[in-house]
Amino acid sequence: MKITIKRFDKRKEPQSIDMNYPIFEGLTLLENFIKIKTTIDPTLSFNGVCRSGVCGSCSITVNGKAKLACSYKPKDGDHIEPLSYHKVQRDLIVDKNKVHNTLETSHAAMHGDVIVENFPKVTIQSDCILCNSCFASCPVMAVNENFIGPFALSRVYKYITISSDSKTSIDAIQQNGVWDCTLCGECTLACPQGIDPKMDIMNLRSKSVQSGYMDPNMQNMNFGLDFTQGF
């Protein structure tokens, strides 16, 4: 039995190539990576720290779906790639800074330094392990690279539930944010911790309406009615 790993090294050409490796049965995918690196191919690059689903560093794509390598048992024919919508540094290692920087986009309207100081407390209260699986599973990213994404939106919702001033937070997510989500639920399905970003975004939409906002897509629809004419 074999798995295929998409290898990438920006220092070499071609930039990516599929390579086949044997499966070491009974081991997780991360343990397979380690076995491959120590016994077959020392050039294979990947991340993995805790090996127990806590740190989130080993997140990768398996057959088009975001998974934690430390908890996934590989099957014959699996195709392994780096996380989608992330800049690949080498092989399965990606730069996660862009995703984490979406938090700063939200910080802009959250009282600046105050939220920067308090935000880690909100993160600690969450079960999120910063694996970026929700972001990598979001189809909106394929058509709008400026979309804040489920990662940040979920945290905005958790913040406003404990904040006495949520309006400025709501203001920050109206563009490329809460209304751009398609509510497909892929982020919720991908989360290894059982967090429900889709529900958080739905709640953010309700909060947005309460703050006087509405779906901009609805504003462009007249449903065949001419409201310029009297009834």
Note the pLDDT tens digit of each residue in 75-125: 999 999 999 999 999 999 999 988 888 877 664 334 333 333 344 444 435
127 vs 150, more confident: 150
What pTM was computed for the model? Answer: 0.82
Q: What are phi and psi of 126, to 5 degrees?
A: -90, 155
**What is the per-residue pLDDT across 7-65, written as a single tens digit (0 to 9) for each?**
987 777 667 899 999 999 999 999 999 999 999 999 999 999 888 889 999 999 999 99
Residues 85 and 148: their CA atoms lie apart, in Å, by 12
CA distance 215 to 76: 45
CA dihedral 9, 19, 88, 140 (to 10 degrees): 150
Q: Which residue has the higher pLDDT, 220 or 81?
A: 81
To 5 degrees, how large is the angle CA 172–CA 130–CA 80? 120
Partners of 112 in beta bridges: none
Residue 24 CA, distance from chain mean position? 29
> Given CA atoms 90, 60, 53, 159 in this order, what sign does their dihedral have?
positive
Please check whether residue 136 is in contact with residue 66, taking contact to mean a CB–CB distance below 8 angstroms.
Answer: yes
- Helices and strands in the chain: count of H runs, count of E runs: 9, 7
All domains of the chain in start order, with CATH: 2-95 (3.10.20.30), 97-217 (1.10.1060.10)
